[in-house]
A and B are shown apart, each in its own frame.
Chain A
Amino acid sequence: MTGDGLLRQAPRLTLILLTLPVAAGFLGTLMPAFWHDARGFHALWAWNGLPRALGLSLSTGVMATAGSLLITLIIVAGLYGSRGFSVIQHLLAPLLSVPHAAAALGLAFLISPSGWIARLFSPWATGWQVPPDLLILNDPWGLSLTFGLIAKEVPFLLLMAIAALPQTDAQRRLLAAQSLGAGRVSGFIVAVLPALYAQLRLPVYAVLAYSMTAVDMAMILGPTLPHTLSVQIVIWMMDPTLSHQSTAAAAALVQLLTVLGALLLWRLAETLLHRLLIGRAEAGLRAPWADGIARRIGAALGLFLAGALFLALGGMALWSVAGLWGFPDPLPESLTLKTWTRSAPDLIESGEMTLRIALLATLAALMLVLACLEAEHRFGLVPGARALWILYLPLLVPQVAFLPGVQVVLLRAGADGTWLAVAAAHLIFVLPYVFLSLAPAFRAWDPRIALAGAALGAPPWTVFVRLRLPMLLRPILTAGAVGIAVSIGQYLPSLLIGGGRIETLTTEAVALSSGGNRRLIGAYALLQMLMPAMCFGLALMVPALAFRNRHGLRVAA
Chain B
Amino acid sequence: MFRRQFMLIAASGCAQMAFGHGALAQSNDWSAILEEAKGQTVYWHAWGGDPKINDFIAWVGDQARERYGVTLEHVKLSSTADAVARVLAERDAGTLSGGAVDMIWINGENFAAMKAQGLLFGPFAEGLPNWVMVDVAGKPAVVTDFTLPTEGFESPWAMAQLVFEYDTARLPEPPRSLGALKDWIAANPGRFTHPQPPDYIGTTFLKQIAYGTLADPSVLQQPVDDASYAATVAPMWAFLDDVTPNLWRSGKAYPSNEPAMGQLLADGEVDISFAFNPGRASAEIAAGNLADTVRTFTLEGGTIGNASFVAIPFNAAHQAGAQLIANLILDPAVQARAQDPNILGFQTVLNISSLSADDQARFAALDLGVATLTPAEIGPALLEPHASWMVRIGQDWIERYGVAQ
- A residues adjacent to B (C-beta < 8 A): 48-49, 52, 112-114, 130-131, 133, 135, 137-140, 219, 223-226, 237-242, 323-324, 326-328, 334, 336, 339, 342-343, 404, 407-408, 411-412, 416-417, 495, 499-501, 503, 507-508, 510-520
CA distance A556 to B80 in the complex (A): 53
Given A225-B404, A240-B109, A511-B49, A500:B263 Cβ within 8 A: no
Q: Is A140's CB under 8 angstroms from B404's CB? A: yes
With a CB–CB cut-off of 8 A, which chain B residues contact A336? 288
Q: Is B49's CB under 8 angstroms from A512's CB? A: yes
Q: Is A225's CB under 8 angstroms from B289's CB? A: no
Q: In the complex, what's the smallest C-beta–C-beta distance from B384 to chain A, in angstroms?
A: 15
Q: In the complex, what's the smallest C-beta–C-beta distance from A336 to chain B, in angstroms?
A: 7
* Least CB separation from A343: chain B residue: B51
Q: Which single member of B77, B95, B110, B401 contacts A500 (CB below 8 Å)?
A: B77
Q: Which single member of B55, B82, B112, B266 contacts A238 (CB below 8 Å)?
A: B82
With a CB–CB cut-off of 8 A, which chain A residues contact B211? none
* Least CB separation from A332: chain B residue: B288
CA distance A133 to B269 in the complex (A): 8
CA distance A135 to B253 in the complex (A): 8
* Least CB separation from B291: chain A residue: A326
Q: Is A240's CB under 8 angstroms from B73's CB? A: no
CA distance A506 to B101 in the complex (A): 21
With a CB–CB cut-off of 8 A, which chain A residues contact B404? 140, 223, 225
- The answer to whether B159 has its CB under 8 Å from any CB of chain A is no
Q: Which single member of B75, B110, B264 contacts A501 (CB below 8 Å)?
A: B75
With a CB–CB cut-off of 8 A, which chain B residues contact A242? 84-85, 88, 113, 117
CA distance A343 to B74 in the complex (A): 14
- The answer to whether B361 has its CB under 8 Å from any CB of chain A is no
5 closest A-B pairs by beta carbon, nearest first, are A515-B49, A133-B190, A411-B93, A114-B267, A516-B259
CA distance A495 to B100 in the complex (A): 13
Interface majority SS on B: helix, strand, loop or mixed?
Answer: mixed
* Least CB separation from A345: chain B residue: B58
With a CB–CB cut-off of 8 A, which chain A residues contact B256? 219, 224, 514
CA distance A336 to B288 in the complex (A): 10
CA distance A407 to B253 in the complex (A): 34
* Least CB separation from B287: chain A residue: A338
CA distance A404 to B43 in the complex (A): 21
Q: Which single member of B50, B73, B90, B403 contacts A517 (CB below 8 Å)?
A: B50
* Least CB separation from B289: chain A residue: A324
Q: Is A135's CB under 8 angstroms from B252's CB? A: yes
- The answer to whether B170 has its CB under 8 Å from any CB of chain A is yes
CA distance A140 to B191 in the complex (A): 20
Q: In the complex, what's the smallest C-beta–C-beta distance from B297 to chain A, in angstroms?
A: 20
- The answer to whether B398 has its CB under 8 Å from any CB of chain A is yes
Q: Which single member of A130, A133, A408 contacts B89 (CB below 8 Å)?
A: A408
- The answer to whether B379 has its CB under 8 Å from any CB of chain A is no
Give the residue among A225, A237, A515 with the most B Cβ atoms within 10 A.
Answer: A515
With a CB–CB cut-off of 8 A, which chain B residues contact A517? 49-51, 259, 289
Q: Is B113's CB under 8 angstroms from A241's CB? A: yes
- The answer to whether B143 has its CB under 8 Å from any CB of chain A is no
Q: Is A412's CB under 8 angstroms from B83's CB? A: no
Q: Is B291's CB under 8 angstroms from A225's CB? A: no
Q: Is A133's CB under 8 angstroms from B189's CB? A: yes
Q: Is A499's CB under 8 angstroms from B86's CB? A: yes
Q: Which single member of A133, A501, A514 contacts B49 (CB below 8 Å)?
A: A514
* Least CB separation from B254: chain A residue: A224
Q: Which of chain B's residues 284-340 have a Cβ closer than 8 Å to chain A?
A: 288-291
8 cross-chain CB contacts under 8 A: A225-B252, A240-B81, A241-B113, A242-B88, A500-B43, A500-B101, A508-B48, A515-B50
Render B100-144 as a binary contact track against A, CB cut-off 8 A, 1 for contact: 110000001110110001000000000000000000000000000
Q: In the complex, what's the smallest C-beta–C-beta distance from B58 to chain A, in angstroms?
A: 9
CA distance A342 to B93 in the complex (A): 39
Q: In the complex, what's the smallest C-beta–C-beta distance from B195 to chain A, in angstroms?
A: 10
Q: Is A500's CB under 8 angstroms from B86's CB? A: yes
Given A131-B268, A327-B268, A225:B100 Cβ within 8 A: no
CA distance A545 to B93 in the complex (A): 52
Render B237-272 as a binary contact track against A, CB cut-off 8 A, 1 for contact: 000000000001110111011011011101111000
- B residues adjacent to A (C-beta < 8 A): 43, 45, 47-51, 55, 73, 75-86, 88-90, 92-95, 100-101, 108-110, 112-113, 117, 170, 189-191, 196, 198, 248-250, 252-254, 256-257, 259-260, 262-264, 266-269, 288-291, 391, 398-399, 401-404
> Beyond A133-B249, A515-B259: 20 further Cβ-contacts under 8 Å?
A49-B398, A112-B267, A135-B250, A135-B252, A138-B249, A140-B253, A225-B196, A240-B80, A242-B117, A323-B288, A324-B289, A334-B288, A336-B288, A500-B75, A500-B82, A508-B76, A511-B48, A513-B78, A514-B256, A515-B50
Given A138-B253, A140-B252, A501-B100, A241:B109 Cβ within 8 A: yes
With a CB–CB cut-off of 8 A, which chain B residues contact A52? 403
Q: Is B403's CB under 8 angstroms from A511's CB? A: no
CA distance A114 to B101 in the complex (A): 40
* Least CB separation from A113: chain B residue: B269
Q: Which single member of A133, A219, A237, A417 contacts B100 (CB below 8 Å)?
A: A417
Q: Is B93's CB under 8 angstroms from A324's CB? A: no
Q: In the complex, what's the smallest C-beta–C-beta distance from B211 to chain A, in angstroms?
A: 23
With a CB–CB cut-off of 8 A, which chain B residues contact A501? 43, 73, 75, 100
Q: Is B49's CB under 8 angstroms from A224's CB? A: no
Q: Is B79's CB under 8 angstroms from A514's CB? A: yes
Q: Is A510's CB under 8 angstroms from B78's CB? A: yes
With a CB–CB cut-off of 8 A, which chain A residues contact B85? 237-238, 242, 404
Q: In the complex, what's the smallest C-beta–C-beta distance from A494 to chain B, in angstroms?
A: 12
With a CB–CB cut-off of 8 A, which chain A residues contact B250? 133, 135
Q: Is A326's CB under 8 angstroms from B266's CB? A: yes
Q: Is A49's CB under 8 angstroms from B403's CB? A: yes
With a CB–CB cut-off of 8 A, which chain A residues contact B264? 114
* Least CB separation from B41: chain A residue: A501
CA distance A342 to B48 in the complex (A): 15
CA distance A465 to B130 in the complex (A): 68
CA distance A291 to B239 in the complex (A): 61
With a CB–CB cut-off of 8 A, which chain B residues contact A503? 75-76
Give the residue among A226, A334, A499, A501 with the most B Cβ atoms within 10 A.
Answer: A499
Q: In the complex, what's the smallest C-beta–C-beta distance from A2 to chain B, in angstroms?
A: 37
CA distance A541 to B22 in the complex (A): 74
With a CB–CB cut-off of 8 A, which chain B residues contact A508? 48, 76
With a CB–CB cut-off of 8 A, which chain B residues contact A416? 100
Give the residue among B78, B113, B249, B289 with the most A Cβ atoms within 10 A.
Answer: B78
Q: In the complex, what's the smallest C-beta–C-beta distance from B346 to chain A, in angstroms?
A: 16
Q: Is A224's CB under 8 angstroms from B253's CB? A: yes
Q: In the complex, what's the smallest C-beta–C-beta distance from B188 to chain A, in angstroms?
A: 10
With a CB–CB cut-off of 8 A, which chain A residues contact B109? 240-241
Q: Which single member of B73, B78, B267, B403 contacts A225 (CB below 8 Å)?
A: B403
CA distance A252 to B367 in the complex (A): 51
Q: In the complex, what's the smallest C-beta–C-beta distance from A101 to chain B, in angstroms?
A: 11
Given A135-B252, A500-B82, A511:B76 Cβ within 8 A: yes
CA distance A508 to B77 in the complex (A): 8
Q: Is B399's CB under 8 angstroms from A516's CB? A: no
Q: Which single member of A130, A241, A512, A518 contacts B263 (CB below 8 Å)?
A: A518
